[in-house]
Amino acid sequence: MTPKDVLKFMKEKNARMVDFKFLDFVGIWQHFSVPVSELSEDLFEEGLGFDGSSIRGWQPIHASDMLVIPDPSTAVMDPFPETPTMSLICNIVDPITKEAYTRDPRNIAQKAEAYLKSTGIGDTAYFGPEPEFFIFDDIRYSQGPDHGFYYIDSIEGTWNTGREEGPNLGYKPRHKEGYFPVPPTDSQEDIRTEMCLVMEQVGIQIERQHHEVATAGQAEIDMRFDSLLKMGDKLMWFKYIVKNVAKKWRKTVTFMPKPIFGDNGSGMHVHQSIWKGGKPLFAGNKYGGMSELALYYIGGILKHARALNAFCNPGTNSYRRLVPGFEAPINLAYSSRNRSASIRIPMYSPSPKTKRIEVRFPDPSCNGYLAFAAMLMAGLDGIQNKIDPGEPLDKDIYGLSPEELSKVPSAAGSLEEALAALKKDHEFLLKGDVFTKDVIETWLEYKKEKEADPVRLRPVPHEFALYFDC
C-alpha cells in the first residue's frame, strides 16, 4: 500500500483510531493511538515524536526525542479494540539526522535483507518459525527479600487429577504425552482455532495448529514461511493475537521457554532458505538433497551458534530448556530427519522448492527480527568463507557413548556463556552495518545488568530444600 492507499483503506473500514506499533530493543511491542483525523500522507514521511528514553535499551534521557515513521505496507485492522482501529507497524528514526535508528530491531532486519542482496548470493531469505507456547488458567509469582515463588495452574495440568473440580472429569495429558491427543484430552482445540482465524484476518497464512508434548496446555501454531522482515512482523502479530485471544477466554499465554519443571519446554524451530530470481538455492545433489551453498550456510550457523544463542535464546530461562542429557537440541550437529541434531534437513518432500534447513535451538522468547537477522548473517558468513559443516550426524545423539558425545560441540549452557561468546564472536554481524558495535555493546550490557545479574543474585525456592539444613 501507498500512504494514499492507507487513507482510502482506513475510510473503507470506517476506522476511528489509528494504532502505531513498534518494537523495543528486547522484543516487546509498544504502541500509542491517535484519532484518524491526525493521519495524513505527510505523516508517513514526517513521523510522530515520542520519548525514546522510556523504551528499554534505547536513548539516554538527555537525547530522548525520537520519531516513529509508519510503514504503509503494514496497514491492517486491529482485531481487538472495541472501537474500529487501523494498525500500522512503524520504523524508528532519529529526528536530527533523519537516519534509521540503529537499535530499532526492525531496522536491523531491513539492513540484513539489503545486505543479502548486496552480496549477490541471493535476493530473498525465507523464514518459517514454529513458536510453541503454554496456555495457562492462572499464573502468580512474586520475589522479595523475604520470599520468592511462582504458582502455575491449568485445567489440563496432570497434577490436578485429584483436585475437586465439581466434577473433575480427568482427561489431563500426562507429562510428555500431550502430542496430538484428540479432545477431550486436548481441551484447547477451539481456542487455538480461534487464534488461527484471527491471524488470518491480519494476513497470516496458517499451516496447522496442534497440542504440543507437555501437560498443562502446551500448544503450537505454524505459520507459512515468508521473507525475513515480513516474518518478523508476523511473529509480533502472532504473539499479540495469541495473548489477546487467550485473555478473551480468561486464560493467559506465555512464550517463556521453560515454565514447568519436569516436562518439555517451548522451542521455536526456525526453517530457513535463500532464493534468487525466484529459484531456490538450497536444493542440490549433496547430502540430504542440499546444495553446496546450503551446506556452507549450515557451516556458518554451527560455527557461530554459541554467539547466536545470545539472540536466539536471550533469557536466563532459555537455558532451563537447553540442558544436556534431555531432548533439547544443544548438540551442534546437522542431520536429515534426525530431530536430536540442532540443525535438521526436513525430508518431507523431494521438491527443490521445499529444500530448507531447520535450526532447532531458538526459543520463542527471542526478538524475531534480531534472531532471524543474526542467523542469516551467520549463514552468509558460512557461504562467503566456505565453512565446512563437517560430517552429518545420523545417529541418535542421546544414544552416543560419552566418548563419542565429547566430540560433538554444544550450545551455550547459560545466558552468561552466550553473552561471552557474542562478545568474542560478532564480526560476522557487523558486515554491511547490519548490527552495529553500539547494538552489540548495548545488548551485552542490558542482558547482563537487567537479566543475568539479577537472577544470579537471588535465591530460588529449591535451594532451601537443598541447603537450609546445612
Catalytic residues: 51, 130, 132, 212, 220, 269, 339, 358, 360
| Reduced DSSP (H G I as helix, E B as strand, rest coil) percent helix, strand, coil of the chain, to 5 | 35, 20, 40
Q: Are the CB atoms for 18 and 39 separated by under 8 Å?
A: yes
φ and ψ at 255, to 5 degrees?
Answer: -100, 10
User: E strands of 181-267, at which residues?
Assistant: 206-211, 218-223, 226-227, 252-254
- Specify the residue for cell string 496456555: 135
Neighbour-count burial of 300, counting CB atoms closer than 10 A to its CB (0-12 exposed, 13-18 middle, 19+ buried): buried
Q: Are the CB atoms for 85 and 18 separated by under 8 Å?
A: yes
DSSP 290: B
φ and ψ at 134, to 5 degrees?
Answer: -110, 140
φ and ψ at 294, to 5 degrees?
Answer: -65, -40
Residue 325, Cβ neighbours under 10 Å: how many?
Answer: 8
Q: Quick one: residue 386, left, alpha or beta (phi over 0 = left, psi -120 to 50 = alpha)?
A: left
DSSP 451: I
**Is the Cα dihedral 368, 369, 371, 377 positive or negative?**
positive
Written as one letter, the residue type at 288 is G
Nearest CA-CA partner of 372 in 239, 299, 270: 270
Residue 445, Cβ neighbours under 10 Å: how many?
Answer: 12
Residue 277, Cβ neighbours under 10 Å: how many?
Answer: 8
CA dist 69 → 38, 64, 73, 228 (Å): 14, 16, 12, 20
